[in-house]
């Protein structure tokens, strides 16, 4: 059996966080196709295969920042979870927000997982590797 390929959509406007995610996933056990968009509008266009994203793959997982330009992570989450064709895609919210209200609103909007980004680079990379391990090794996801 070959190495399974998985697709992850990262909706993140911080280039340093994206770089750290790429580095953390570079030695993943699975082949990961990492797709990155930098704002909430582009994230929804990717998921809905609109415009420049007409040929985009359906991701197996979305890593979503909370504080995004053009459309916030909570707005993107609400649209994903209210769209019958997208709602089954697991969404992990990665944020620096310490606000309990943000946490509560994310879970009320049906986020699958809410993770506060560690400020330490090594710990951040470890968290990203743990996300990959959990969602693609431990969890059983439906076929697309």
Min mean pLDDT across 22-26, 28-32, 34-38, 78-82 is at 28-32
Tens digits of residue pLDDT in 72-122: 999 999 999 999 999 999 999 999 888 999 999 999 999 999 999 888 888
CB 135 within 8 Å of CB 141: yes
Paired sense of beta strands 61-65 and 31-37, if any: unpaired
Which whole number is the average pLDDT over 116-135?
88
Average pLDDT of the residues of the chain: 90
3 state DSSP class of 19? helix
Non-local (6+) Cβ contacts of 22 within 8 A are: 34
The maximal CA–CA distance of the chain, rounded, in angstroms, is 45
Non-local (6+) Cβ contacts of 143 within 8 A are: none
Strand partners, 115: 94
This prediction has a pTM of: 0.91
Domains, the chain, ranges and CATH? 11-138 (3.40.50.2300)
CA dist 29 and 24 (Å) reads: 11
């Amino acid at each position: 059996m070959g190495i399974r390929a998985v697709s992850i959509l990262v909706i993140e406007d911080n280039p340093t966080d994206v770089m750290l995610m790429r580095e953390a996933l570079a030695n993943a056990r699975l082949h990961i196709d990492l797709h990155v968009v930098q704002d909430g509008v582009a994230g929804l266009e990717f998921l809905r295969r609109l415009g420049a994203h007409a040929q985009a793959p359906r991701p197996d997982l979305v890593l979503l920042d909370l504080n995004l330009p053009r459309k916030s992570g909570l707005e993107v989450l609400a649209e994903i979870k209210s769209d019958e064709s997208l709602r089954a895609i697991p969404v992990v919210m990665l944020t620096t927000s310490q606000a309990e209200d943000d946490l509560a609103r994310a879970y009320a909007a049906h986020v699958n997982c809410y993770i506060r980004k560690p400020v330490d680079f090594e710990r951040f990379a470890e968290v990203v590797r743990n996300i990959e391990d959990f969602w693609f090794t431990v969890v059983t996801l439906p076929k697309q």
